[in-house]
Amino acid sequence: MSERKLRAWQAAGLIDADTASRISAWEAAHSRSIGVWAIVGLGALTIGLGLVSLIAANWEQIPGTTRLAIHMLLMIALAAWTWWSLPRGRMHDQVHDALLFVGAVLGLTFFGHLGQVYQTSSPLWQPLLAWLLLFSPFLLLFGRGWPVAGLWMAGLLGTMWTHAEDHGHIWSLFGRTEPPWLYWGLIACPPMLVAGAAALLRSRSERPAFWRLLEQMAVATIFTGLSLAILLHGWDGDGSLLPGSALIHSIALLAAAAAIAYARRTASGRATAALLLIAAALHLIQALVPYGHGAARAWISSLFFCLLWGAVAAAAIHAGWRRLFQLGVAMVALRIIILSFELNDDLLGSGVGLILSGLFAMAVAWATIRLSRRYAPARGDAA
């Protein structure tokens, strides 16, 4: 910490002279030379790049079984070190999570390495599913931060997506073919199940922050998916959501809402559960309501989108989520602007149409800023 900042704090009356001197002494005793650490880091990076270059230059000369054995030994050694160090508190949480992340990535690349050595081919979802089954206990039992939570969630979503692509093109969800509605209903449910399970485990685990991250990621995935479904359903004149699939999605959303409401009886928990309830109702209604064509389709799609993100903004006010409130208001404003372009597409070729659309976009942006400044809640706890 700089002496200038300490003097500024002392001049502002935030700290006294004795506190400033003690802070300065503590910082001096615990400071680390940035230059030394930079040189050490540069040296380690150079050694690592050299090893990678040596291996890459002789990759074809190294027998495949030898490469696989080295790969496997690296994973085993890393897992053993992590397992041994964790209960003894020998590692900082960030270092521990970094080792978990590296170990899981080594495991993921091992499947690709295996396919390269033995010249095997399989759908992408199969190695992803194998990795998920093998490494989920490893990651979920010991993960603590966002790198591990994000990697696991990415693996889950990647497995879902690639399986859907292999089973039948993902756009089949919107009625381009005649897919089994049960499959398309169940394939989208894992994020809902993760959200509910993470909320239940959050209050029962010694790592509540980790389960909180997983719950937040799952809920963010749910609303991202629902938003994309509404947009694509509104823009695709030939597509239609499958009511049976939408019913399964809504039931899963209701189950997640019930689990969150039961596990987290706070303003944040109530707001999240209410949002999932609203999302379930909107998703099912969206699948049942005929959209029509042209302007009617654009209006109905915009209505569902604005209702969804308007609910997000309202829940954010109740729970004190400032940034989420601002995001909800911004999404509604953006959809209104897009709607104006959709309805005025015949006028956009003329200068008058462009001017009117530009003025409308500026007016909506100005109203959004004013609304966010006036009604945005104070900073509160995240979901």
Contact 276, 260 (CB under 8 A): yes
Q: Residue 383 above 60 pLDDT?
A: no
Question: How wide is the angle at C-alpha 142 spanned by C-alphas 139 and 145, nearest 5°?
Answer: 80
Distance of CA 199 to the CA centre of its chain: 16
Q: Which position has the higher pLDDT, 119 or 254? A: 254
Q: What is the pLDDT of residue 31?
A: 59
**pLDDT of amino acid 260:** 93
The pLDDT of residue 288 is above 70: yes
The domains of the chain are located at: 64-167
pLDDT digits (tens, 9 = 90+) for 88-125: 555 566 677 777 888 888 888 877 777 767 767 777 88
Taking a C-beta distance cutoff of 8 angstroms, is the pair 334, 313 a contact?
no
Per-residue pLDDT for 382 more than 60? no
Reported for 159-164, long-range contacts at CB under 8 A and 24+ positions apart, including other chains, are: 159/125, 159/128, 159/129, 159/132, 160/187, 160/188, 160/190, 162/123, 162/124, 162/125, 162/128, 163/123, 163/125, 163/129, 163/187
More confident residue, 36 or 368: 368
How far apart, in whole angstroms, are the C-alpha atoms of residue 196 and residue 181?
Answer: 23
Q: What is the pLDDT of residues 31-59, one digit of tens each?
A: 555 565 567 667 766 766 676 666 666 66
Quote the DSSP letter at residue 171.
G
Entry pTM: 0.74
Share the mean pLDDT of the chain.
78
Give me the pLDDT at residue 351, please.
60
127 neighbors 113 (Cβ within 8 angstroms): no
